[in-house]
Structure 1
Amino acid sequence: MPSVTHEALVELFKNRPTLAAEMLRDALGQPVPAFTEARVVSSDLTEILPSDRRADIIVVLLVGEQQRPAMAIVVEVQLGVDADKPYVWPVYVTQTRARHRCPTWLLAVTVDAEIARWCARPIDTGHPGWILTPLVLGPEGVPVVTDAGQATAAPEVVVLSAMAHGQGDAAEAIGVAFLAAAAGLDQERRAMYGDLVLSSLNAAARRTLEARMKAGYEFQSEFARSYVAKGKIEAKAQDVLAVLEARALAVPAEVRERVLASTDLAELDRWIRRAAVVSDARELLATNGS
């Protein structure tokens, strides 16, 4: 299941179609062509290959009255090492280029410096002269947005700034800048972005921002509530397995799969208690007992 952070980053680039071009130009110093519109297009790339090939986002920069594609950007949010990506990323680039008949760049986005270095490694496709070097937007490339005017003009950028720099010294200033931007957002984006910023800031900055927003702030957006709930379930399932493993009990594959497949917090709480006392991991799934 995609993580909260992954889906949040994808939403930022979807909600602001110009964001990919802006980050390439302003953060990475790449020569992005002039365009009149940035449009998010279908990321389903299955026409040629029978297996599923879906990039996170594909943005096409259009120019002129005829809206001619000037460039396409394949945006891939990457939060961990994935041995499959060096093989599918060239596919995303070539198929997007073939579909839209324009130069196509790959932009990998991450909030982890180590993963950014991994993403930036050149991909040798095996064809002479064809080495794909991904363009990478990591935390070092994301601007630190503390100016209210800048945040208001580009709210997605200040949210991205919070996600990249929310644990640093500028966290509180980033949060305050976001509040200035939040006033001009529709209710759905204000709720979702507020959740993302709050969850990204360090404890001191979060307390300050919560006090400014309202006492007892709770996650407001359907997006955040959904993924926070899923995150709690995943954490509980991992806790069950951790207790069993800490007691040096072998965990059969069927037990592991059943625990990880559960979506019931009460059931997982019950299993955590049982994991502390059972003598065999299979007893965990017994229907009797508490």
Structure 2
Amino acid sequence: MVSSPHEAMHRIFQDHPGLFSRVSEVLGIDFTPPTSVTVLPTDLTEPRPLERRLDTLLRLETEGDEPLLLAVEAQGKKDPDKPASWAYYASYLLTKYRLQPMLLIVCQDRATAEWAARPVVFGPRQWPLLTLRPLVAGPHNVPVITDPAEARKDLALATLSTITHVTNPDIGTILKSMTTVLRDTPSNIADPIIELIAQGLGKYPAAELWRKLVAVDLSFYKSPLSQELRAEGRAEGQAASRSEDILFILERRGIDVPDEAREHITTCDDLDLLRHWLDRALTASSTDEVFADE
């Protein structure tokens, strides 16, 4: 199953096609900035039952040079079968479009990034046939951006930096710098970035921190994430209020509430179940009766 960080690491190049120029500068490679970019179909399936799909495929138009095909692949872990797939992609793209292909691998951990960056030689040792050398962007070479002024200069690169440095010890400062910048960024630009970062952080611990920062620092945005956070906040508030009502009724009725039962009530976030317990609390002679039919 494709993870949300996987999607974010390559989708950012669809949302911000010019990002490759800045990434190539960071990686020390001189590519002419594109004058236009076209998002191409990623389906490389052949007429026979073999399906191969790229993550993102872009056609970059440049001034003076021939157009370039940029394939962007998000890689979450080492996979010994991948280099052969990447070589296939390059060959297929060259054959289909008659344009020179370039492969960019985006990673979130250093070990995978360094593995992906190693040249892979295909063919017998006596006469190597093909050498695969993808560009790789990851925590080992993408700059850490903690200064809001630097993030503001290039929001796309700052977003990629945030996603690739998800496990960096300074991720809190990185995320805070992004909310500082996004607070005064037009919503049509900021909202997709908010969602992209949330997607890129996946299930890492930093994801919860991002959600809290968005709820507090960017509370006026109407993005899907902010709407979800507000809905969660309302539900949590209702659950807490209903838990208090249950405990109040039991205590006023002189029903002993053991610590275990109190914790069971106060940690429940199921509003329907809490309502059921509330009804039971009105007539129950003990907390066991409140939970009797669980």
**How high is the TM-score relative to the length of structure 2?**
0.63
Matched, 1:112 2:109: yes
Q: 1:46 deviation in Å? A: 2.3
* Residues 142 and 210 of structure 1, relative CA distance in 2, 3 Å threshold: farther
Q: 1:157 deviation in Å? A: 2.0
Aligned to 1:184: 186
Counterpart residue type for residue 159 of structure 1: T
Counterpart residue type for residue 76 of structure 2: L
Aligned to 1:28: 27
Cα distance between partner residues in 2 of 1:168 and 1:181? 20
Cα distance between partner residues in 2 of 1:15 and 1:164? 17
* Residues 206 and 198 of structure 1, relative CA distance in 2, 3 Å threshold: farther
Q: 1:126 deviation in Å? A: 1.4
Counterpart residue type for residue 36 of structure 1: T
* Residues 220 and 209 of structure 1, relative CA distance in 2, 3 Å threshold: closer
Cα distance between partner residues in 2 of 1:209 and 1:192? 10
8 Å contact kept, 1:71–1:102: yes
* Residues 126 and 19 of structure 1, relative CA distance in 2, 3 Å threshold: same
Q: After the TM superposition, which residues 53-202 of structure 1 pair with which residues of structure 2 at under 5 Å, given as runs? A: 53-64=52-63, 69-126=66-123, 128-182=128-182, 183-186=185-188, 188-193=191-196, 195-196=198-199, 201=206
8 Å contact kept, 1:39–1:59: yes
**How high is the TM-score relative to the length of structure 1?**
0.64
Q: Deviations over 1:229-257 (max 9, x none)?
A: xxxxxxxxxxxxxxxxxxxxxxxxxxxxx
Bigger CA radius of gyration: 2
Matched, 1:3 2:17: no
Cα distance between partner residues in 2 of 1:209 and 1:168? 19
* Aligned pairs, number: 222
Q: 1:103 deviation in Å? A: 2.1
* Residues 174 and 209 of structure 1, relative CA distance in 2, 3 Å threshold: farther
SS in 1 for 2:73: strand
Counterpart residue type for residue 5 of structure 1: P
Aligned to 1:220: 224
8 Å contact kept, 1:175–1:209: no
* Residues 49 and 152 of structure 1, relative CA distance in 2, 3 Å threshold: farther
Q: 1:125 deviation in Å? A: 2.0
Q: Deviations over 1:4-56 (max 9, x none)?
A: 21112122121111223321x22211121343112221111124665111111
8 Å contact kept, 2:8–2:200: no
Q: 1:110 deviation in Å? A: 0.2
Cα distance between partner residues in 2 of 1:198 and 1:76? 17
Cα distance between partner residues in 2 of 1:29 and 1:149? 23
Cα distance between partner residues in 1 of 2:148 and 2:186? 12
Q: 1:114 deviation in Å? A: 0.8
Query: Percent identity among equivalent residues?
Result: 28
Q: 1:75 deviation in Å? A: 0.9
Unpaired segments of 5 or more residues in structure 2?
230-269, 271-293
8 Å contact kept, 1:120–1:136: yes
8 Å contact kept, 1:73–1:105: yes
Counterpart residue type for residue 186 of structure 2: G
8 Å contact kept, 1:40–1:60: yes
Q: 1:197 deviation in Å? A: 7.3
Aligned to 1:16: 16
Could you say which structure has the greater relative contact order, defined with CA pairs below 8 angstroms and 6 or more residues apart?
Answer: 2
SS in 2 for 1:2: coil
